Amino acid sequence: MTRIDQLRRGGLVLDVDDSGPEDGPVAVLLHGFPADRSTWRAVTPLLTAEGLRVVAPDQRGYAVGARPEGRRAYRRDWLVDDVLALADRLGAERVHLVGHDWGGLVAWRLAQRAPDRLASLTVLATPHPRAMALAAVRSDQALRSWYIAAFQVPWLPERLLRGRLVPVLESMGLARATAERYDRRMREPGALRAAIDWYRALALPTPAGTPRVDPLVRVPTSYLWGSRDAALGRVAAEATERYVAAPYRFVAVDEDHWLPENAAALVAEVVLDRVRSVTA
């Protein structure tokens, strides 16, 4: 395997951090909204120190060279295809996949679609999508997720968030310096619109020709959830186990939504525990 700093795919250019031993097991780390690959800056050295090769891309819409216009470009299956293309570029038959927030939703989808490409799965914050749907009718999850509906409105969310993102992120527990870093990225041309288009694409039908999606995840999985997460509640978190038909570990901790930033050592511990469970 060789080092990569970019993934070129279909006219898009995704920037990539690639560190750790080149011949080590590959861990692919997927960030969420409104972050970028720097989400993992405190987690990565803890993983590479244990022999993992850690690859963290700026996902579609967040990378400067990959901001196509229109919500159709941000369907989950296109996002999954980006990750599979990254694994192919690395020459990795299987990877240890880690996802936070929206990166977690992409990770769940990839595990359902292509379990043969994963050695293990670790998801942070984001419940299995079917657990989310269940919780929406059995708890306050629909109220917690109000912003998803609000983001469906054209152009207005971008206008309202521009200049207000830092205090919003701070109110959710993110340190100001980190919130400002993410805000700078979202101020780049087309960045905030592209990030919100991920939400707008949720309502789109599955593209024709997409491989069948198994409702169950059949990959050894760990799920880490913070009990102070304002967006994602306990009912969905606890129901996630129903949708994993493989060795599973649920870790509930007294943390907020920003697990990679605020609980890096714990995240690394959970990831490494899952990796070791399948490589021992």
pLDDT of 209 > 90? The answer is no
Residue 1 has pLDDT above 80, yes or no: no
Amino acid at 77: D
Tell me the C-alpha to C-alpha distance, in Å, between residue 205 and each of 48, 77, 97, 143, 220.
39, 10, 25, 24, 28
Give the integer Cα–Cα distance in Å for 98 and 95: 9
Active-site residue, from 199, 223, 243, 248: 199
Residue 246 lies in a domain: yes
Query: Can you tell me the distance from the alpha carbon of 5 to that of 11, in angstroms, rounded to the nearest whole number?
Result: 16
The model's pTM is 0.97
The model's pLDDT over 2-40, given as tens digits with 9 standing for 90+, comes to 789 999 999 999 999 999 999 999 999 999 999 999 999
* Rounded (to 5) percent helix, strand, coil in the chain: 45, 20, 35
| Active-site annotation holds for 101 | yes
Our answer to whether residue 223 is catalytic in this structure is no
pLDDT of residue 48: 98
- Residue tagged active-site, from 31, 96, 128, 257: 257
What confidence category does residue 208 fall into, taking pLDDT thresholds of 50, 70 and 90? confident
> Is 262 inside any structural domain?
yes
What's the total number of domains in the chain? 1
- Smallest CA-to-CA distance from 100 within 132, 128, 124 is with 124
Mean pLDDT within 224-241: 97
pLDDT at residue 134, as a whole number: 96
Establish if 90 belongs to a structural domain.
yes
Whether 49 maps to a domain, the answer reads yes
- Tell me the percentage of the chain whose pLDDT exceeds 90: 93
pLDDT at 213: 87
Give the domain extent around 51. Answer: 6-279
The answer to whether residue 1 is domain-embedded is no
Query: Residue 249: inside a domain, yes or no?
Result: yes
Residue at 220 is within a domain: yes
Burial of residue 251 (number of CB atoms within 10 Å: 0-12, 13-18, 19+): middle
In the chain, what percentage of residues exceed pLDDT 70?
A: 99
From 199-208, 227-236, 237-246, the region with the lowest mean pLDDT? 199-208
141 falls within a domain = yes
CB 222 within 8 A of CB 241: no
Catalytic residue among 81, 101, 183, 197: 101
Amino acid 211: pLDDT: 77
Annotation says 257 is catalytic: yes
Task: Tell which residue, 73, 71, 95, has the closest CA to residue 83.
Answer: 95
Count of helices and strands (H, E) across the chain? 13, 8
**pLDDT at residue 219 greater than cutoff 80:** yes
Look up the CATH number of the domain holding residue 213.
Answer: 3.40.50.1820
Residue (of 219, 240, 216, 6) closest to 124 by Cα position: 240
d(CA 252, CA 201): 30
Task: Render pLDDT for 45-75 as a digit per residue (tens, 0 to 9).
Answer: 999 999 999 999 999 999 999 999 999 999 9
What tokens appear for 123 in the block?
């998801």
**DSSP per-residue codes, 31-87:** --TT--GGGGTTTHHHHHTTT-EEEEEPPTTTSTB---SSGGGG-HHHHHHHHHHHH
